[in-house]
Amino acid sequence: MHPKALLDASAELVAQVLKFDHPADATVARFFREHRSLGPRERTTLTDTVYAVVRRKLLFEHFAGSGSGPRERRLAILGFAAPRDFLKSALNEQETAWLDACDAVDPATLSERHRHNLPEWLATALKEQVGEDFWPLVKSLEQLAPLDLRVNAVTDRRDDVLKELALAGIAAQPTPYSPWGLRLEGKPALAKLDAFARGAVEVQDEGSQLLALLTDARRGQMVVDFCAGAGGKTLALGAAMRNTGRLYAFDISAHRLDNLKPRLARSKLSNVHPAAIAHERDDRIKRLAGKIDRVIVDAPCSGLGTLRRNPDLKWRQDPKDLPEVTARQTAILESAARLLKPGGRLVYATCSLLRAENEDIAAAFTAAHRDFKRLSVQELLEGHKVAGAAELCSADGQDLRLWPHRHGTDAFYAAAWEKVQS
């Protein structure tokens, strides 16, 4: 595609995404459906351009104020994901001079908001939580997330899959914490790999793999993945159970569970039972009360721990909605807790950066439930021989706290309890 046409398409897509009517990935996917003539390279450039604009929105809007022409074109120029000489061949003299002036700006002279590119409410919350780590965290959130895989422990060994990937020309290395994980270099076409087609590997962030490990589902148990979604953790739990016992995958979205079906078929697991539920008090859940050995609640949340993958979330979230979100998380956790038998384990997790969705929910649950004993996440991980377990946890070892700038994963939180005799 000619540079000018590609820049015009980028400006059009930027304009659509910045309406924030829908998630950025959904808007991009719809755009590609409407423009089927676009090749893989053009699609990559368009996607990377849009995400660059969303990541650095405040800075680019600041620079755009000194330019001319349509706003979305100026933003697309600033974020254009191609070599500068290719881009400049699509610009007029005035635009080229303006872009050179923007490129020459010393980042140290910029205001704080133009360096962190976060809404002020979120920047304030993160500063309070991580202190001196604020700027390293900001820098990590601007990076592309790596592609992690989980090896299916029922069918394959990690070392064998690593060798298989190497023979296919794909560079990978074992993840530092998860015993099942592989971290790939770049973004290879997984669908063409035999290892993927036969279910030897699934895409799953290392942090998500650790949540499954923390749940400690075992052979022959009754286990519930309470908010299963597309089933990444469900499949990890089923493999940990060695395809025995009974694993329920509940979610209020039948559509999300539909995405589990092809993954489940590849995995060759027969112990997984997906079921759409109407709400957290559904009759299906009531019938299982007091019968379950393990429950994981990966609660619906702001998703702000995935900003490397979904940078639009920081602009689509309204802090005024947070009380409603945390009330729902509390209700879900309460319902999930009723499923457990004495001696059973409950894990609460989110992919949120915010204390209100994490530590505050766990503390309130602990205070309200004397029949649940809080467990040390650090001790649980050490029991699985996870290297550096202490560095994955809060200072007291009680909570799992994963951060992209410290651990290379999405940001995850988790707390765990054991049901005791009431």
Tokens read off for 201: 């590997």
Closest CA to 417 of 377, 381, 364: 377
Active-site residue, 351 included: yes
Active-site choice (227, 301, 351, 393)? 351
Residue listed under structure tokens 């809080």: 374
Tell me which residues are annotated as active site: 351
